[in-house]
Structure 1
Amino acid sequence: MPEAVIVEAVRTPIGKRNGSLADVHATDLSAIVLNELVRRTGVDPVDIDDVQWGCVTQVGDQSSNVGRFSVLAAGWPETVPAVTINRACGSSQQALDHAAFAVMSGQQELVVAGGVETMSRVPLGATRASGEPYGPAPKKRYPDADFNQITGAQLIAEQWGMSRAALDEYSARSHALTAAAIDKGVFGSQTVSVDTPNGAFSVDEGLRRGTSVDSLSGLKSVSGENGWIHAGNSSQISDGAAALLVTTPEKAKALGLKPIARYHTGAVSGADPKLVLTGPIPATQKVLAKSGLSIGDIGAFEVNEAFASVVLAWQAEMGADLDKVNPLGGAISVGHPLGASGAILMTRLINHMRDNGIRYGLQTMCEGGGTANATIVELLDV
């Protein structure tokens, strides 16, 4: 079976809600990373077999196969196809899985994976403006569930015995790590500047420097009067896009490209839809079992910071060294542009691995409905 390798990965800086990227259409934002991928690799877009593009809220600006119109916005040949994928928050991580599977099956040689979400322009929940998203049968099966992620985050905190202080301490850590990474210029090589009406946008803007348990203590709970979930220990609403180029080692050599990482193993799993967000636990267990690796073999983890309780429950169950978990901060400090987040995290992960000589990295994402993706990559650029 052919191997799949990632030869390049690029992302936009993440814009905060109604911030620097709010005036940029999703297709135009996607076109920026698509063309930067081409610029960095020298690949002729006409040779790209497919574009797998994640996007969650596919209405309004992001409707009508946003992946295809992103390709057209980039000015690529009309012959280049694209498909838009929705696996909730894991959409662009699933796009990477699909790209790798296509290459490993031998059906395709050169595939782009990535995603976009402009939550400033297409608000979360816009698809629920009319109709019933869940239907009567799931509600009958789970009569006491509301399938709400905030409710799930609170239930997880309670089930794993977390205090609000513990959640806030983790959240302050996220901001501190992101601040350190930005100050060291860690993200500079993996981002592409975006020209906006207000000038060039080049640095993730969700960061709140100086965030502490004390500064978070005054925020009002969104999970009930006595709940512990609030805006400060949850992911930020944001905008962004990212893209990766996936191919075989042989094709990379023919194109004069040096692979960064090998797609090692991928898995997807389901969990309790009432808790919604515990899927990364069984998904991680599944991907490790498939890979033959142990948790101790992994040198860096990206566990999407949808909520602090999600990461802490995963860490408690998996026994991972917290120093290796989200070492650059995460969605609590910079944001979670839904359909782009999987590709953004992978871009961050493989660059962190390369910067620090880490052989194996693992990424996992909780997703609406109780599913989760988990992916292991192996560093090759050493």
Structure 2
Amino acid sequence: MSKQVQDAYIVAATRTPIGKSGRGYFKNTRSDDLLVRAIQAALAQVPTLDPKAIEDAVIGCSFPEGEQGMNFARIAVALAGLPHSVGGVTINRFCASGVTAIQMAADRIRVGEADVMIAGGAESMSMVPMGGNKPAFNPEIFTRDENVGIAYGMGLTAEKVAERWKVSREDQDAFALASHQRAIKAQQAGEFADEICPVDIIQRVPDLATGEIRYSTRTVSLDEGPRPDTSLEGLGKLRPVFAAKGSVTAGNSSQTSDGAGALILASEKAVKQFDLKPLARFVSFASRGVPPEIMGIGPIEAIPAALKAGGLKLDDMGWIELNEAFAAQSLAVIRDLGLNPDVVNPMGGAIALGHPLGATGAIRAATTIHALRRHKLKYGMVTMCIGTGQGAAGIFEAV
């Protein structure tokens, strides 16, 4: 394990609710506005922190264009009311953008370049679709067999994983049902309350009789995706989406979503200076590449690397947030590495809760950090597969 100059502590962690893309809570809400709300809520958790001490904000986004383009990290920092001295940079590692942002912010602190950083992620899949507004692959991808997998749709890669790792349709549907059941149970028990910052949605409706615009506000505080009426029978009726004789359906895949998450990280020096209470210590991070056509197995390579970097073993993990891009790849990872199903996504995953791409890593980090403290666990992990063939994993220690 490489020597660190100093530790990086998470002193605030929060996220917005996750809305369904296209028709949900945030269909008309910009992702930078969601990010502003998350940043402001994170700052509210550390009232003794001088905002001028914040060095920079590293924000992840999978498709930083359109409404979430133009370095929206810096724009959100400004709109959140932070001093002009606070910078902002938008970074992209597709589905691992949010957790990579945390890693980059932590590393700035760990090597002594900063004492206080913001990290997070945001994505509106309602406003910027999967693939972006103008997908344009490099033509070279299609001239070499070893590169063509980069252009495969995510669903097709899940089909390939299901075939190679022998994950049945029945097992995928059962995994999806469990995700919804766990999420509903956690919502009913108030398990998400510590991590979610409520968001006010302003609706504008024209009054045709008077020509005026009527305003109404509602507050949302729960993820929109979990369905209490999900059943094996209902899931079994869904047709495969990506291959005629396949097993991957809309029901056993993650939901496209809108949301944002934000964390504040600080050095030990800043913790003492501003009388902050650490929630967790950032332990380690690893990313690894895998063949693009089976991108879903990325965590199989990243998890052991992150554990090694942290000097830890798999049995040390009391909580694992394994992003459920697809039930097929989630089960392949769980089985291949021998993960304990009881500690993997205890409150449901992206199949039920949603997957706002570049925000997911930050959102699931907030889930992990608060769950560790709530359940008096020591170590937790956030891990996911990544489009074009990568895996990432980050480890946190409750303090």
1:182 aligns with 2:201: no
Counterpart in the other structure of 2:214: none
* 2:80 alignment partner AA: A
The yes-or-no answer on 1:57 pairing with 2:63 is yes
Judge conservation of contact 2:142–2:148 (CA < 8 Å) in 1: no
Q: Where do 1:317-336 residues align within 5 Å?
A: 317-336=336-355
| Matched letter for residue 146 of structure 2 | Y
TM-score norm. by structure 1 comes to 0.96
Calculate percent identity across the aligned residue pairs: 37
Q: Which residue of 2 aligns with 1:107?
A: 113
SS of 1:372 mapped into structure 2: strand
For 2:125, give the aligned amino acid: M
Note the C-alpha offset of 1:345: 0.4
CA distance in 1, matches of 2:39, 2:243: 42
Structure showing greater radius of gyration is 2
**Secondary structure of the corresponding residue to residue 161 of structure 1:** coil
- Give the distance between the partners of 1:366 and 1:139, measured in 2 at CA: 25
Matched, 1:147 2:166: no
Identify the range of structure 1 (337-346 vs 273-282) with the bigger mean alpha-carbon deviation.
273-282
- Do the aligned residues in 2 keep the contact of 1:53 with 1:83 (CA within 8 Å)? yes
Give, in angstroms, the shift of residue 210 of structure 1.
2.8
Q: What residue in structure 2 maps to residue 131 of structure 1?
A: 136
Aligned twin of 2:10: 6
Q: Partner of 1:86 in structure 2?
A: 92
Q: Distance in 2 between matches of 1:371 and 1:37?
A: 29
Structure 1 residues 206-217: aligned runs within 5 Å: 206-217=225-236
SS in structure 1 of the partner of residue 251 of structure 2:
helix
Q: CA deviation at 1:94?
A: 0.3
Aligned mates of 1:143, 1:203 — CA distance in 2: 41
Equivalent residue for 2:316?
297
Per-residue CA deviations over 1:338-364 (Å, capped at 9, x if unaligned) read 111000000001111111111111111
For residue 362 of structure 2, what is the aligned residue in structure 1?
A: 343
The corresponding residue for 2:198 is 193
Change in Cα spacing, 1:138 to 1:299, as seen in structure 2 (3 Å) is farther
C-alpha deviation, 1:250, in angstroms: 2.7
Deviation at 1:139, TM superposition (A): 4.7
| Counterpart in the other structure of 2:208 | none
The answer as to whether partners of 1:45 and 1:77 remain within 8 angstroms in 2 is yes
- Are 1:173 and 2:178 counterparts? yes
Deviation digits for residues 6-37 of structure 1 (CA, Å, limit 9, x no counterpart): 11100001011221111211221111111111
Per-residue deviation at 1:148? 2.1
- Is the 1:89–1:339 contact (alpha carbons within 8 Å) kept by the matching residues of 2? yes
Q: How many residues were matched structurally?
A: 378
- Please give the alpha-carbon distance, in whole angstroms, between the structure 2 residues aligned to 1:316 and 1:333: 21
- CA separation of 1:50/1:138 partners in 2, compared to 1, >3 Å: closer, same or farther? farther
Match of 2:26 in 1: 21
- Is this contact kept in 2: 1:176–1:210, CA < 8 A? no
Q: Which runs of 5+ in 2 are unaligned?
A: 204-216
Report if aligned partners of 2:141, 2:147 keep a CA contact under 8 Å in 1: no
Q: Report whether the alignment pairs 1:377 with 2:396.
A: yes
Structure 1, gaps ≥5 residues long:
none
TM-score computed with the length of structure 2 as normaliser: 0.92
